[in-house]
Amino acid sequence: MTDLTHRFTGHGALVTGAGRGIGAAVARRLAQEGARVLVTDRDAPEAEHVAAALRREGLLAEAAVCDVADQGAVDAAVARAAAAFGSLDVLVNCAAHCSADGPAFEDDPDESWARDLDITLGGVRRCCRAALPHLAASGRGAVVSIGSVNGLMDFGNHAYSAAKAGLGSLTRTLAGQAAARGVRVNLVAPGTVRTSAWEGRDDDLDAVSGCYPLGRVGEPEDIAAAVAFLASRDAAWITGTTLVVDGGLTSVHTGFRTALDGSGAGRR
């Protein structure tokens, strides 16, 4: 049986968008399981804050500034991780950008569309392009990107959702090419997760919790656990897949079932 506390001992990992939320939880989970983690974010103080907190716990972490919209910054972060850790074995793409929709579809400015797609989808492409040679050289390389249920169903945010749907396609096509190089590529698609994006909106989180068959929204640690599984050798025969981690949201139509009998049990 795999020792879950040491699945990443000796592994070098790079996590983008790790200054907070899901990215920070992923960095912590990988470090707790033995990985040496480069915590990257475009916000330098936030990246260093997360890395410093991990080091205080005796975990192995460094921080670096990385704007995934800048190929030069991405190349530098990847090179630093490979040099500092001796290998780069795991890449986790968490960085994303989500613009608010306009009142009508035709009101969405081109700039918002371009930014959401460039960071959310283009950023993953840049990171994978820079990291793949190192991941292939490690002999155990794994890429895990963070998608969204927005890429599977309508939850608003046109550009962000289109970018997340694109990540599903990129995951499949890249998995097909990278497999011959010994690199696995997978995607985690979370539902609503309690992060700083929802700060001050506890009432909204309570309201949407009722939409989830498991009765709650997700926590960053829920997503980090799924990422750690897909990045580990426990998932050695899994590539090109999207793992939906959403408390049943996209599998069970809670509202429909409730409408049938008011109890959520549905008709029998």
Active site residues: 160
* Residue type (1 letter), 216: R
CB 42 within 8 A of CB 31: no
* Distance from C-alpha of 189 to C-alpha of 158, rounded to nearest angstrom: 17
Please tell me whether residue 219 adopts helix, strand or coil conformation. coil
Amino acid at 6: H
Q: With left for phi above 0 and alpha for psi between -120 and 50, is residue 228 left, alpha or beta?
A: alpha
- Ranges of beta strands (E only) in the chain are 12-15, 36-41, 61-65, 90-93, 142-146, 184-190, 242-245
Rama region for 103: left / alpha / beta (φ>0; ψ in -120 to 50; rest): alpha
Q: In sequence order, which residues have a C-beta less than 8 Å from that of residue 5 and are 6 or more positions away?
A: 32, 33, 34
Q: How far apart are CA 41 and CA 62, in angstroms?
A: 12
Q: What are 163's two structure tokens?
A: 């970018």
DSSP 155: -
